[in-house]
A and B are shown apart, each in its own frame.
Chain A
């Protein structure tokens, strides 16, 4: 039997096994109930220190990790780039060594460059959790997406999942493609040709298809995952205008009608209403965007718990 998740670092979905993914999701399932209690806190990580080291701005993910740490009684410290010594010229490695000298148990790191968490993992004694590195991976997002899908579909194996939008720059897409195909889903990606490289199909051995049109990807899907259009990248002219993007690639009710009748809609946030997703779709009962945020806390509690020494739980 394969071992459930017992490693210290969570750097990406690519290098963990289906059994490990299952172990994290089952543990997270059991952590959900804690956030519904009146006293939303258990002493599991009492005395442990978690540093949230964010080199990119983030509200949702950082708050989610902070709440997760606090609900497990860990002490959480948030460091964001604007207030850190990196702006004073310190190298990443020196920052890591300095933080490490203060003996944290876990460092949650987000950085604009791929591979930063992996570098930190080599020098730090703390467990490293990747909260997004460049366009590489965002493992906890994929895990919370998986938890949302599992909750509403009862399984992941055999589902058809469409991922639509800026695949090229999306760490959410990469982590989700790895997770979903490992768990037996069929993934179809689509978006503007400039943002969906055709050789993307080789990212995983099987289960991934690059579709020429958004409609092909959505047709018959159980899950439609919409990615955020990164407006900050607008200068690079990947597509003519936001309006044009919304006309050709935005998720409208008409496009969603191509999916299965009980299809669900996911979006990692923050969403651009009226651009990649129509407002009435975002607010419909098929959209589970707020469920994703809710499960995010439970998933991050599970990841912090497991990477600082807890044993996986079973459902």
Chain B
């Protein structure tokens, strides 16, 4: 808060319509690969994974007539960089109301980059129980060459080639003024 670095937008890779289409395709791919919505449990990773998981849940319900289970993970306490983090994002609590044992979990996040967030999310999930399967859905994948852990996404909204200097920002109406995905660069 306050001293946020001002970033310069380099290019816009998705607008609201493109995001909507990508989410619709993700929902279709998820039910296709999992043969329906049975035992499906969507888990959004705070912060931007949460509205994305909600949207996927609604789209899957429209497709299948069955509402998948839904929960929220906050991975702050599972991070591996506690002592080096300066300004943390706004965080909140984990909410997994329904038991995850034997469920088919779809982790949902906005951007897949180093894979460390997903590692933390999986560690936390395992502390809550033993899901039958865990898959990963992301709106944007920045490419496997950035990965610091052997983690891949099962469902990808858009693949974008980026450099480490660049920042991919997913803007959602729940938090931002507009719906879009842009590539920014530190000045």
Say whether B93 faces chain A, with CB atoms less than 8 Å apart: yes
Answer whether residue A246 sits at the interface, using C-beta atoms and an 8 A cutoff. no
Determine if B77 is an interface residue (Cβ-Cβ < 8 Å).
yes
Pair B78/A42 contact, Cβ less than 8 Å: yes
Chain B residues whose CB sits within 8 angstroms of the CB of A81 once the complex forms: none
CB distance from A68 to the nearest CB of B (A): 13
The interface size of chain B toward A, counting residues with CB under 8 Å, comes to 23
Q: Is the CB of A37 within 8 A of B127?
A: yes
* Closest chain B CB from A149 CB (angstroms): 20
Contact with B along A21-39 (1 / 0, CB 8 A): 0000000011001100111
Kindly state whether residue B76 has any CB partner on chain A within 8 Å: yes
Q: Which residues of B contact A29 (CB under 8 A)?
A: 93
B117 near A: Cβ within 8 Å?
A: no
Mostly, the B contact residues are loop
Task: Count chain A CB atoms within 10 A of each CB in B2, B79, B87, B93 and give the residue with the most.
Answer: B93
The digit string for B88-101, where 1 denotes a CB below 8 A from any CB of A, is: 10111111000000
A271 sits at the interface (CB 8 A):
no
Cα distance, A37 to B74, chains bound together (Å): 14
Report the nearest B residue to A44, measured CB to CB. B77
Residue of A nearest to B96 (CB): A37
Closest residue on chain A to residue B2 by CB atoms: A1
> A309, B127: Cβ atoms under 8 Å?
no
> Given A37-B127, A311-B87, A311-B88, A43 and B94 touching (CB < 8 A)?
no
Q: How far is the CA of A309 from the CA of B91 in the complex (A)?
A: 15
B166 at the interface (CB under 8 A from A): no
A311 and B85 in contact, given A39-B127, A42-B78, A43-B123 (Cβ under 8 angstroms) = yes
Residues 68-89 of B, flagged 1 when their CB comes within 8 A of A and 0 if not, give: 0000001011110011010110
**Distance (whole angstroms) from the CB of B88 to the closest CB of chain A:** 4
By a CB distance below 8 angstroms, the chain B residues around A34 are 77
| Residue among B82, B87, B91 having the largest count of chain A Cβ atoms under 10 Å | B82
In contact, A37 and B91 (Cβ under 8 angstroms): no
Residues in A with CB closer than 8 Å to B124 are 42
| Chain A residues with a Cβ closer than 8 Å to the other chain, count | 21
Instruction: Give every chain A residue within 8 A of B91 (Cβ-Cβ).
Output: 30, 311, 313-314
Quick check: is B5 within 8 A (CB to CB) of the other chain? no
In contact, B1 and A1 (Cβ under 8 angstroms): yes
| Set of chain B residues within 8 Å of A313, measured between Cβ atoms | 76, 90-92
A72 to B123, CA, bound (A): 14
Q: Which of B88, B93, B127, B129 contacts A33 (CB 8 A)?
A: B93
Instruction: Give the dominant DSSP class at A's interface.
Output: loop
Distance to closest chain A CB from B31 (angstroms): 30
Q: How far is the CA of A309 from the CA of B123 in the complex (A)?
A: 21
Whole-angstrom distance between the alpha carbons of A314 and B88 in the complex? 11
Q: Which residues of A contact B83 (CB under 8 A)?
A: 309
- Name which residue of chain B comes closest to A27, CB basis: B91
Collect the chain A residues with CB atoms within 8 Å of residue B95's CB.
Answer: 33
- In the bound complex, what is the Cα–Cα distance between A7 and B92 (angstroms)? 21
**B159, CB-defined interface residue at 8 Å:** no
- Alpha-carbon separation in the docked complex, A41 to B82 (Å): 16
Assembled-state Cα–Cα distance A305/B76 (Å): 11
B77 contacts A43, C-beta separation under 8 Å: yes
Answer whether A314 and B90 are a contact pair too, CB < 8 Å, given A1-B2, A309-B82: yes
Report the nearest B residue to A311, measured CB to CB: B88
Q: Point out the residues of chain B lying under 8 angstroms from A310, CB to CB.
A: 76, 82
Q: Could you list 20 examples of A-B contacts with CB < 8 Å?
A: A1-B2, A30-B91, A30-B93, A33-B93, A33-B94, A33-B95, A37-B128, A38-B128, A42-B124, A43-B123, A44-B77, A44-B78, A44-B79, A44-B82, A45-B82, A310-B82, A311-B76, A311-B85, A311-B87, A313-B90
- Extra contacts, 5 of them, besides A37-B127, A72-B77 (Cβ < 8 A), are A33-B95, A305-B77, A313-B91, A314-B90, A315-B92
Query: Closest 6 CB pairs between A and B?
Result: A311-B88, A44-B77, A42-B77, A30-B93, A39-B127, A309-B83
